[in-house]
Amino acid sequence: MKRIMGRTAVGILCALFLLPVAARAQQQGSIELKSIAQAEVVETNKKGEKQVKYVDVSKAKVVPGDVVVFTTTYKNVGKQPADKVEIMNPVPEHMLYVDQSANGKGMKIDFSVDKGKSYGSPDTLMVIDALGNKQRATILDYTNIRWTALKPLAPGGKGTVSFKGKLK
Amino acid sequence: MEVRINGQFTITPMRYSLRRLFLFITALCATICLTLDANAATPAGTIISNKATVSYTIGSNTFTRDSNTDTITVVSSAMVNITKTAVVLDQYGGTQPITGATIRYTLAVTTVGTGTAMNVVITDLLPANTTYTSGTLKLNSAALTDAADADAGDVGGTTTNTVTVKLGNLTSVSPIQTITFDVKIN
């Protein structure tokens, strides 16, 4: 009896010890994500040619009408391949998605018009207009973007995904 | 015509032509459209944040993780618009653009939006084959000297062959700033 109780106690202790570790692993995972935002600045040089420069938003003066490029870098820093890799990014508040701007090598790109509840390719997305009619969604309706990796991400594997938003 | 605001923003020439009515309608439409845009413009000081999320599986475990958060602070939403118009007055009392005729240019500068456009400077290159008529530069009907001095404007002083008028800080409640000057067709 004593032995059984002892074993149970050890079991509970082990469980208590392991739980936070498991929880931590759940949060940490093995893919690191880094996001940068850069404002697109069009400058005219001395020859009168237009040049596009990208300036970090912390240093840029962003005004309505400006375009900001959001780039997310992902990397598998773990020792096992990661499957079903999906990167999601909402179209930021006060911004409109810029047509054809979402990019990502080896990624299938889908959009959401319902704040990320469901995603679909641009030709399948529908919205209901003010008169209650179903209409093909336009870029103005996009609320979220999702990149789905076509292959598992091997240890050390990395890449970037990006999109542009225009400030309203 | 060229507008430089803090050296950042340029509007390319709009030339006087027979399609003046068309230009007028275009300008009118542009003004209305810009005004509508301005109503929806994000106010200065708004902070926009963005972060990405990744989800994936390893074995039977699903993981999710967020990126860092980027923040954007909207600085100002003032937009300066310019409408340039021209009237030809020939020396015979008509309106033919012939040698010796005067072209009177009017630049109307308005500001829309919620912010302040700082240190607005309007520069306008004088058209080829014309000569500026001395002493005709005016800002809001008040004469300005042609020299680069204490008043707001000059012709050829700051930049050769160019009208320069400093309008200072403008907001949407600033009155329309009207610049006029005459040139003679060579």
- Coil vs helix vs strand at A8: helix
End-to-end Cα distance, chain A? 72
The top-scoring range by mean pLDDT among A12-16, A40-44, B19-23, B103-107 is B103-107
| Nearest-CB residue to B52 (from A28, A35, A93) | A35
CB-CB neighbours of A143 under 10 Å: 15
- pLDDT classification of A127: cutoffs 50, 70, 90: very high
- Whole-angstrom Cα distance, residue A165 to residue A120? 19
Domain ranges of chain B: 2-38+77-185
Using CB atoms within 10 Å of the CB of residue A15, give its burial: 0 to 12 exposed, 13 to 18 middle, 19+ buried.
Answer: exposed
How far B91 CA lies from chain A's nearest CA (Å)?
37
pLDDT confidence of residue B134: 96
CATH of domain B2-38+77-185: 2.60.40
- In single-letter form, the type of residue at position B118 comes to M
Q: Residue B38 pLDDT more than 80? A: no
- Whole-angstrom Cα distance, residue A140 to residue A112? 11
Using CB atoms within 10 Å of the CB of residue B16, give its burial: 0 to 12 exposed, 13 to 18 middle, 19+ buried.
Answer: middle
Q: Residue B102 pLDDT more than 90? A: yes
Residue B156 near residue B124, CB atoms below 8 Å: no
Residue A82 is given by DSSP the state B
CB neighbour burial string for A51-62, b if at least 16 within 10 angstroms, e if fewer: eeeeeebeebeb
Q: Residue B176 pLDDT more than 90? A: yes
Could you please report the per-residue DSSP string of B110-144? EEESSS-EEEEEEEEEPPTTEEE-TT--EETTEE-
Fold of A30-167: Immunoglobulin-like (2.60.40)
- Coil vs helix vs strand at A132: coil
pLDDT confidence of residue A24: 46
- Coil vs helix vs strand at A72: strand
pLDDT confidence of residue B41: 76
Strands A67-76 and A83-90: unpaired
- Whole-angstrom Cα distance, residue B156 to residue B174? 27
Interface of A with B in 22-81 (CB under 8 A): 25-37, 39, 41, 43-44, 57-58, 61-65, 68, 70, 72, 74, 78, 80-81
